[in-house]
Chains A and B, each alone.
Chain A
Amino acid sequence: EAGVVQSPRYKIIEKKQPVAFWCNPISGHNTLYWYLQNLGQGPELLIRYENEEAVDDSQLPKDRFSAERLKGVDSTLKIQPAELGDSAVYLCASSLGVSSYNEQFFGPGTRLTVL
């Protein structure tokens, strides 16, 4: 069974440019998460989806970040415009549900460098 797929794996852009990350969760997983991982830090939740609905986006900087999960499967995270401080690894994870019995499976991440 395929794991969580993310693309691209690496992205280098200049500041003020837009950028988008794509995530394909494990088949059948209704819950999808986007995390931000700064260098030397643990992941921090940006947004959580239950099917198509964003049920927790309290940590998403809405002035420049947006996300969508059309049809409740794939998801896209966008930054527009990117700033130098956005350089980090963006992780996508999915799970069957939100109980403590449902393990979150993580993708390999997209490493963003903003110049």
Chain B
Amino acid sequence: GNSVTQMEGPVTLSEEAFLTINCTYTATGYPSLFWYVQYPGEGLQLLLKATKADDKGSNKGFEATYRKETTSFHLEKGSVQVSDSAVYFCALSDSGGSNYKLTFGKGTLLTVNP
């Protein structure tokens, strides 16, 4: 079945540091890939997505590239801010282009200190 593996947290960085959160997946077919973010006390929000190999999703300074050859979708940001402190979830959808059944990783807690 489908699965998503994220690097375990927590991750603690200083402001303006470079961020990488690793994500690899196992899936049949050609899934779409997503990063969701959950700020304290709030629901999950879609951060970025990519629907086919070599696509790059980007938003709010975050980027992730769909790498089919390594089955990876690593999240990166060049300079993190305190406001980026949150839990980040990598996810994939069933093949066929529908997003109705998302499979999530366990989440990675990021804390950014001033």
Indicate if A18 sits at the interface (CB-CB under 8 A).
no
Which of chain A's residues have a CB closer than 8 A to the CB of B93? 100
- Residues in A with CB closer than 8 Å to B91 are 42
Q: Is the CB of A43 within 8 A of B46?
A: no
Q: Is the CB of B44 within 8 A of A95?
A: no
Shortest beta-carbon distance from A35 to chain B in Å = 8
Are A40 and B106 neighbours in the complex by a CB distance under 8 Å?
Answer: yes
Chain B CB within 8 A of A14 CB: no
- Chain B contributes a number of interface residues (CB within 8 A of A) equal to 25
Bound form: Cα–Cα A104–B93 in Å: 12
A115 to chain B, nearest CB (A): 23
Are A99 and B98 in contact, CB atoms less than 8 angstroms apart?
Answer: yes
Q: How many A-B residue pairs have CB under 8 A?
A: 63
Tell me if A106 is interfacial: C-beta within 8 Å of chain B. yes
A41→B43 contact, CB < 8 A? no
A53 at the interface (CB under 8 A from B): no
Task: Identify A106's interface contact among B43, B51, B100, CB under 8 A.
Answer: B43
Closest to A3 in B: B43
Report the nearest A residue to B41, measured CB to CB: A108
User: Which residues of the other chain, B, contact A44 by a CB distance below 8 angstroms?
Assistant: 104
Q: Do B100 and A98 touch across chains, with their CB atoms under 8 A apart? A: yes
Interface, chain A (partner B; CB < 8 A): 3-4, 31, 33, 40-45, 48, 56, 91, 93, 95, 98-100, 102-109
Contact residues of B with A, CB < 8 Å?
4, 32, 36, 41-46, 49, 51, 89, 91, 93, 97-107
